[in-house]
Amino acid sequence: MPVKHSQHLLREAAGTFLAVHAGSEIAVGGLLVSTVAVAAGWGLRNRMPGWAAASLRVAGLVSAIVVLACQARGAGWLTGVDRSVTMWLADHRNPTVDALALTVTNGFGPIVTTGLTAAFGLLVGMRSRSILNGLVIVCTVGGASLLCWLIKLVVERPRPPLLIQVTPETDFSFPSGHVTGAAALFGILAVIVGMVGSRLATLVIGAVGVLTVSAVALSRLYLGVHWLTDVLASVLLAAVVLMFAAALLPTMRVLPSALSPANNAAEKPY
């Protein structure tokens, strides 16, 4: 009996090892394929039809989100990295950084992001004399947030333990709504400015967006309310929505000349 019991335990251990090992290989392979698809779609954008290059990039981003979602739902290999990052941050907290992280995360919560989206949408709509321009911003951020909520319901990933959370949150964790909203908002602003504004303005709004989204993501990790893969998936999700928005903007002709400084100058009476 002891020998049979030992053999049974050995088989279970071997099965667990193979399952984890296979899961890690699938995850790494999936992320590698995703990276290659995105890189190919970007690098070959001038050598293939625009829709084909965009499709490659979207497929790569979506597949990466699927890999992260499967890992999050099934407590896969990547979740070990999540735990390590979360525990390291929890062990290196101090009151000053706590207050700063709370300020950042509250500054880009759902209510504030909704208000900023409405304000920017109204501003762009009035500036361009077209309600469609404002709706592009609202629909982009709203669509990204809706997809984020639906993915949360599908993946059903628990938050980090309440004991390590600075501000308690108990709803589903994957992906992060804060990061998704911030990335979608600043992303669509950068896309619009890039289409009709100067290069300097595009660089400025892009830099502000990167810094803001990074700060929000770090604050969510630091406060112990999200895992690393949550915020990574949020950025990828926002990128997918932004690619669709960027593709639709020229087709919908919702960027009239009223947004262009050069054309505005041409309209002034002399």
Residues 204, 245, single domain; the answer is: yes
pLDDT of residue 256: 53
- 211 or 131: which leads in pLDDT: 211
What is the identity of the amino acid at 59?
Answer: A
Find tokens 């829709």 and name the residue.
Answer: 51
- The answer to whether residues 150 and 238 belong to one domain is yes
CA separation, residue 15 to residues 3, 108, 125, 138 (Å): 18, 45, 59, 49
Indicate whether 41 and 146 sit together in one domain.
no
In the listed set 76, 104, 137, which residue is the last one of a domain according to the structure? 76
Q: Are residues 35 and 8 in the same domain?
A: yes
Task: Categorize the per-residue pLDDT at 257 as very low, low, confident or very high, splitting at 50, 70 and 90.
Answer: very low
Confidence label for 9 from pLDDT (cuts 50, 70 and 90) = low
Residue 268 belongs to some domain of the structure: no
On whether residue 38 sits in a domain, the answer given is yes
Helices (DSSP H) in 44-93: which residue ranges?
50-73, 78-91
State the pLDDT confidence band at 234, using cuts at 50, 70 and 90. very high
Q: How far apart are CA 205 and CA 212, in angstroms?
A: 10
Angle between helices 50-73 and 2-43 (to 10 degrees): 160
Per-residue pLDDT at 18: 35
104 and 224 housed in the same domain: yes
Q: Are 155 and 244 members of one domain? A: yes
**Structural domain includes residue 181:** yes
| 258 has a pLDDT exceeding 60 | no
Peptide bond into 175 cis (omega under 30): yes
Domain that holds residue 113: 80-261
**45, 61, 76 - which closes a domain:** 76
Residue 194 CB neighbour total at 10 angstroms: 16
Q: Domain with 91 in it: what CATH number?
A: 1.20.144.10
Separation CA 81–CA 232 (nearest Å) = 12
87 and 62: one domain?
Answer: no
Asked whether 182 and 213 are in contact (CB, 8 A), the reply is yes
Is residue 119 situated within a structural domain? yes
The answer to whether residue 33 is domain-embedded is yes
| Domain contains 156 | yes
In angstroms, the Cα distances linking 221 to 102, 112, 173, 176, 197 are: 11, 19, 11, 10, 34
Region 232-251 average pLDDT: 86
**Domain boundary at 45, 76, 107, which?**
76
Q: Are residues 57 and 85 in the same domain?
A: no
Q: For residue 268, report the phi and psi dihedrals to the nearest 5 degrees.
A: -70, 135
d(CA 46, CA 43): 8
More confident residue, 154 or 201: 154
Which sign, positive or negative, has the C-alpha torsion 73, 75, 77, 78?
A: positive
pLDDT at 270: 36
Torsion angle of the four alpha carbons 101, 104, 107, 110, in this order, in degrees rounded to the nearest 10: -80
31 lies in the same domain as 58: yes
Decide if pLDDT at 215 tops 60.
Answer: yes
Q: What is the mean pLDDT of residues 33-60?
A: 76
The residue type of 269 is P
Give residue-wise pLDDT tens across range 26-45: 767 777 777 777 777 777 76
* In-domain check, residue 40: yes
Q: Residue 231 has which token pair?
A: 């915020």
- Assigned domain for 267 exists: no
- Please check whether residues 100 and 51 belong to one and the same domain: no
Residues 69 and 96 in one domain: no
Statement to judge: residues 41 and 160 lie in one domain: no
The total number of structural domains that make up the chain: 2
